Amino acid sequence: MIKKARINKNLTQKQLAIRLLVSQSYISNLENKKINSFNIDKIKKVSNILNLNTTDVVNFLISN
Q: Give 10-residue mean pLDDT values along the chain (64 residues).
A: 97 97 95 89 96 96 86
Task: Provide the 10 A C-beta neighbour count for residue 53.
Answer: 10
CATH number of the domain enclosing 57: 1.10.260.40
- The count of other CB atoms within 10 Å of the CB of residue 33 is 13
Domain that holds residue 14: 1-62
Measured in residues, the chain has a length of: 64
What is the structure's pLDDT at 64? 73
- pLDDT recorded at residue 38: 84
Tally of domains in the chain: 1
Angle among Cα 53, 20, 17 to the nearest 5 degrees reads 105
- pLDDT of res. 50: 97
The predicted pLDDT at position 49 comes to 97
**CA angle centred on 24, ends 36 and 14, rounded to 5°:** 145
